[in-house]
Amino acid sequence: MTPLSNRLFQSQDLRQEMKVNPRLYQAMELLYMPLLDLQQHLKTEMAENPFLEMAEADVLNEVSLEETTPEEEKEDEVDWEEVLLDDYNQGGKRRGQFEEKEMTLPTVTEAPDLHDHLLEQLHHLSISDREIRMGEEIIGNIDEAGFLSCELEEIVRCANDWLTDVREVARERAEAIDDPEARAEEQAELEALFQPFDLEDAEAALEVVQAMDPPGVGARDIRESILLQLRHEGEEDTVSHTLVSAHFDDFLNHRWTDIARSLGLTPKEVQNAADRIAQLDPKPGLRYAPPEESYILPDLIVEKVDGEYHVFLNDTSLPRLRISRAYREVARDRNKFKGENKEFISRKLNSANWMIQAIEQRRQTMLKVMNFIVDRQRDFFEKGVQHLKPLTLREVADYIEMHESTVSRVTNEKFVQTPRGVYHLKFFFSSGLETTSGEEISARGVRDKIRILVEQEDSKKPLTDQKIVDLLKSEGIKIARRTVAKYRDQLGILPARMRKRV
């Protein structure tokens, strides 16, 4: 066969391939799920698989059997075979007497947001319809932080586009008025109302919006917002106002001496004015932003009992699954089922057994991981964050004899309640720095030491990065100056020059 031949031919080769069982993917997903997600997932599984039921149902079944009469039992007797074959299909849900009742929950009323708050103020003002329309256009372009998010020219263009859309409709309605005098009056009002907006209209409307509550809203940048807030407080003739209006760049860089020399003041007076500015709200609109819903339900609990730390799973809210005895009895007689029915029963029963095993495996894996963390980080539980030890996912994986990716899934979005508070499981993992004694200390513990050193420093002589390096070395911690600078930035701490007080 030549290299350019287009003929069809067959060939065979031998190679090895690894294919992951779909159930293995599902098991990994179960490990990955936090507690709230797992609750919802199990409820869905119970609704779709007739072989799964809650273990707590035993007590309810025993009570109901004792209280019912033989006649009632006959009336309530269920044809399980019919239910199994007719009321389910692949991925289906129960019908008839097993159909879940729809629950009606109370409607949650949302609090007014920033736009609602501004629009309410706008419509209570004694201004013309044109001014209200331009004010609405401006308010619609204010972001969540309270800043104007586009140029005034763009706002004018959008407002005029709106005028074009509604002008013709309004004119047709005016022409339909029978009374000539009333029609002429209406047309005159429309001509005045639908005059195109210009930049002066937008600037005038912006001033109206900027005078509203909260102070500083409608500003185009943080500098203008601060000036608006100072104006609202009647502080336009103060040093604080001058700092922002004429020396904003020096103010941002804490050049108190340069500003003082320029204004003929002492550095202390300039710094006091800067302290006043620091009391203002840099993002005034956020006070009307809806609060972020952040609910944390710890997956694990660590408690100290008789001097020892014990780990418990906080899974009492999870449904305890088991194989339904009623469906299991029906499925036991395999002679009744053939073809698709037999395949369906086998698949659902196997899926139910696997789900129960996977949930138990998840519980045991989480306990193993957390028990190792507690043993390794005992000093943290006893003494605090500065005593955290370096820990990696690989160390945990080697100890529990599982893959590192499994440990990563176990610790993902999982929280633990401890005597020292609620922590993300990732909190206990960090790199380490070597000490002069040859031991290692957690990078998270070093960051906490830096935070404490800065909090305790003399504000008139703040610690430089090199000074922090020297102090940590005196405690036996080897660290480079650039590492201190990186940790300081992570903590949101300014450089020494900008922390200095006069």
Domain boundary among 288, 308, 337: 288
Which backbone phi and psi does 10 adopt, to 5 degrees? -115, 150
Q: Is the pLDDT of residue 392 over 60?
A: yes
Alpha-carbon gap, residue 115 to 435, rounded angstroms: 55
Q: How many domains does the chain have?
A: 2
Do residues 378 and 236 both lie within one domain?
A: no
pLDDT at 501: 83
Q: Are 205 and 130 in contact (CB under 8 A)?
A: no
> Which CATH number does the domain housing residue 400 bear?
1.10.10.60
Number of neighbouring beta carbons within 10 Å of residue 488:
20
Alpha-carbon gap, residue 324 to 250, rounded angstroms: 74
Within 33-151, where are the H helices?
A: 35-48, 57-67, 70-76, 80-86, 114-122, 129-140
Q: Are 362 and 292 in contact (CB under 8 A)?
A: no
Q: Which residue has the higher pLDDT, 153 or 103?
A: 153
Residue 106 lies in a domain: no
Handedness of CA 419, 421, 426, 431 (dihedral sign): negative
pLDDT at 318: 75
Number of neighbouring beta carbons within 10 Å of residue 498:
12
| Cα separation values, 119 from 125, 136, 147, 168, Å | 10, 7, 15, 27
Mean pLDDT of the residues in the chain = 79
Residues 262-286, mean pLDDT to the nearest whole number:
92
Alpha-carbon gap, residue 138 to 289, rounded angstroms: 18
Q: Is the pLDDT of residue 96 over 60?
A: no
pTM: 0.65
Residues 371-389, mean pLDDT to the nearest whole number:
90
Do residues 432 and 305 both lie within one domain?
A: yes
Alpha-carbon gap, residue 115 to 138, rounded angstroms: 10
Do residues 278 and 420 both lie within one domain?
A: no
Residue 58 lies in a domain: no
Residue 109 lies in a domain: no
Residue 155 lies in a domain: yes
Q: Is the pLDDT of residue 61 over 60?
A: no
Q: Are 32 and 412 in contact (CB under 8 A)?
A: yes
pLDDT at 368: 92
Residue 67 lies in a domain: no
Domain of 304 in residue numbering reads as 300-316+356-499
Do residues 180 and 310 both lie within one domain?
A: no
Do residues 221 and 264 both lie within one domain?
A: yes
pLDDT at 266: 93
Do residues 278 and 308 both lie within one domain?
A: no
pLDDT at 225: 95
Do residues 244 and 310 both lie within one domain?
A: no
pLDDT at 343: 74
Expressed in percent and rounded to 5, the helix, strand and coil fractions of the chain are: 55, 10, 35
Residue 479 lies in a domain: yes
pLDDT at 388: 87
pLDDT at 16: 65
Residues 269-286, mean pLDDT to the nearest whole number:
92
For the chain, percent of residues with pLDDT exceeding 90: 34
Q: For residue 288, name the pLDDT band (cuts at 50, 70, 90).
A: confident
Record the tokens describing residue 290, joined without a space: 């809806």
Residue 68 lies in a domain: no
Do residues 265 and 304 both lie within one domain?
A: no
Handedness of CA 390, 392, 396, 398 (dihedral sign): negative
Residue 341 lies in a domain: no
